[in-house]
Amino acid sequence: TAQPRYPSQRGVEYSEEVTNKVRAGILRADPEALGVEVRITGTYPFNSATNAVINSDMLRTTIVSSIGVFVIFLIAFGSVFYSIIAVVPLLISVVLTMCWAKFAVGGFNLVTTFLPALVLGLGIDYAIHIIARYAEERAKGGSLNRSLYASVLHKGEASFYAAATTSLVFVGLLLAKSRALFEMGVISSVGVMIAFVVTLFLLPSMITLAHFIFRNRMRQRERVVGYAARLTGVVRWVTGKGRAIFVITLVLTFFITFQAARTSFVFSSTDLIPRVESQEVMDEILNRFAVSPAGIGSFFTFYAQTGQELREIVSRLSQHELVEVVLSAVDSVPIDLTEQQRVLNSLDIRGYIGQLDSLEQSIKERTAALAEIRSLLAQYSLLEYAASLSGQVEIALQSTEILEQLRRIQDRLTALDLHYATESVDALRSALLGLDVNLEEVRELPPADDLLRDILFSYPEALRSRYLTPDGQFVVQARVSRTIYNAGELDAFDRFAASFSDNYFGMPLVVKQLEHYMKRDFYLSTLLAAGLIAILLWVSLRGWIRALIAGAPLVLGYIWMLGGMRLLSMDFNFLSITISPLLIGIGVDNGIHILHRTIEERAKGLDGATERAVGATAVAVIVTSLTTMLVFGSLLVARTPGLRMLGASALLGIGFALLFCLLFLPAALHVEGGKRV
């Protein structure tokens, strides 16, 4: 065991320095030459390895997202030019977001490692919609300026509301109890707006600059694959079956809702911890030596002010059926100090010495006693003889018995070594006098409670801290059965513990409180996001019916995501609760763009406005959803379990939201019939 000078909380750099020095020392010792395998564990290598995992996951997800976004964009538009034009503002946005994260919260943590990739996935949405509209205007024969004006005017407004809704969703995380979720809100709320502003200003400038540089070859570079006509036909089929799709979707959603309502919240600290070598070594040590790390897991810790309170806590805990082991300062002392102190204080040494004085006096009077015994022997012999002559058998027998007893006493007194007996009594008296002096010192000792503290303070710090706090409180640890997590058991044990102590805590209680905070953050962030987005949809689309239709795919996708999580046995954990506001912020963007384009097409007064609007916007909607899904899909290879769960739930939510955007939304617009949209 190695104990560095400073604790691991000093920082990641210090933990890395300590870990590297330990590894260097192991290499110099060359244990492999002796056939020995040496591995290290502890908070220092864990902090070092965790930081490496954070950087590795962040780099991996960012690279995968960047390449994936470029490839998806290239396939969707068939233009290398537009792919490069779209990626450049994104990379700048990511760099600025990372700078903001460093400035605002000091960098990224295990929960926020994927945020650069998320900004990448969200930021590309704005570029996709602007480029798609610009390419459409250019294909119609529009000039550079008119095409840029139309794309920025129409898509800029929709993108602004989309960015604002997403940003406000992340602002809602600022009310979270968790520091990690708070930092996510700080970074993402600003990062999304950075991506929008950079794209809005830089993208038209880059297109204009490219026209100035390449002039005669820009028409060829600006050609894109035209999917609008084909997708319009698909949308026309959807609207033709609009009422059936509308009803079937709502009926299926009704049944899915029952599964969605059964999705539960489960807090597990292991979801936040990546699997690193130091943790594996610690698990192996605990398994091989059949021990549990003190104070964690299914442990309760109690604090006692006095020894009496300590003994009462230990006694009460030992009697409870859920308590498996009780560890306290009582176990560290081989005797019961209170009982021993009571026994010693009850000793009457002066009385014992008085009895020795009487015994010594009796020994000194042995000669007189022997003479008295001889006289008694003569008298009882005469009595025995007279009783026999007179026929008093009973008196004669009693006299005989007394004579035998007197002779035995006479023999013992005759055999007694007077000198040795006197010396023995004197030695015993001296010993009792010395004991009495020592007992006076014992009686002057502090009470047993203070004495126990003094004994514990003499222990090494590592051992003392198990039983005593720095301010002198006794520590009692109780390991409870895992069945305490069964329904009602934890509350019952909490009431039991509160009946004899008001100063205790336990990891089961911490888990319960964290689950409470998790639910609070979930409901608060979800309701706040839903409320803010409802208001923004109403402002953006200028009507509650439009806002309801635009938000319908999001609501349906959310319910189906919960149903899918239930069917796949996935529960909300500390990280996956963030998918709720994320999905609300991301999923509503598609509805905003489709509704804006539908309003624009219907304003022209031509038939088939819904089909044209959805067909023209579908490519951008599909590409933006796929890029965002790619970002969350990259989390599936993260080493932190919670991030993998977040990625899986996000894929479900965004995938279902996209599906309903392309099916239910056109069907709903068809059923509505253009009366209010």
* Beta bridge partner(s), residue 479: 299, 325
Q: How far apart are the first and last CA of the chain?
A: 72
What is the per-residue pLDDT for 271? 56
Higher model confidence: residue 176 or residue 364?
A: 176
Q: What is the mean pLDDT of residues 280-290?
A: 68
- Assign 3-class secondary structure to 364-414: HCHHHHHHHHHHHHHHHHHHHHHHHHHCCHHHHHHHHHHHHHHHHHHHHHH
Q: What is the mean pLDDT of residues 648-669?
A: 88
- Model pLDDT for residues 605-643, shown as the tens digit of each residue: 667 778 888 888 888 788 888 888 887 888 787 777 777
> Confidence band (pLDDT; 50, 70, 90) for 554?
confident
Is the predicted pLDDT of residue 339 greater than 50, yes or no? Answer: yes
Query: CB-based contacts of 642: which residues, under 8 Å, 6+ apart?
Result: 110, 111, 271, 272, 573, 574, 575, 576
CA atoms within 13 A on the CB side of 68: 22
Among 493, 498, 501, residue whose Cα is nearest residue 473: 501
> Confidence band (pLDDT; 50, 70, 90) for 293?
very low
Q: Give this prediction's pTM.
A: 0.64
H or E stretch at 300: strand 299-304
Annotation: CATH topology of 44-272+511-672: Multidrug efflux transporter AcrB transmembrane fold (1.20.1640)
Instruction: List the strands of the sheet with 474-480, edge to edge.
Output: 323-327, 474-480, 299-304, 504-506
- Model pLDDT for residues 391-434, shown as the tens digit of each residue: 666 766 776 777 787 677 777 767 766 667 677 767 776 776 77
- Model pLDDT for residues 357-382, shown as the tens digit of each residue: 766 676 666 667 767 767 766 766 76
The least confident of 67-81, 453-467, 650-664 is 453-467
For the chain, the domains span 8-38, 44-272+511-672, 299-480
Q: What is the mean pLDDT of residues 94-103?
A: 90
What is the per-residue pLDDT for 247? 92
CA distance 555 to 580: 11
φ and ψ at residue 147, rounded to 5 degrees: -70, -45
What is the per-residue pLDDT for 111? 67
Alpha carbon 27 to its chain centroid, in Å, reads: 35
DSSP state of 108: -
Residue holding tokens 């950075």? 194
- Model pLDDT for residues 454-482, shown as the tens digit of each residue: 667 666 666 677 778 888 888 888 888 87
Percent of the chain with pLDDT over 70: 75
DSSP string of 414-437, one letter each residue: HH--HHHHHHHHHHHHHHHHHHHH
What is the per-residue pLDDT for 52? 78
C-alpha triplet 609, 615, 620: angle, nearest 5°: 130
What is the per-residue pLDDT for 252? 93
Residue 363, Cβ density class (10 Å: 0-12 exposed, 13-18 middle, ≥19 buried) = middle
* Mean predicted lDDT score pLDDT of the chain: 77
The least confident of 206-210, 443-447, 656-660, 673-677 is 443-447
Higher model confidence: residue 341 or residue 276?
A: 276
> Confidence band (pLDDT; 50, 70, 90) for 390?
low
What is the per-residue pLDDT for 612? 81
DSSP string of 501-523, one letter each residue: -SSEEEHHHHHHHHHHHHHHHHH
Q: What is the mean pLDDT of residues 313-319?
A: 87
What is the per-residue pLDDT for 452? 67
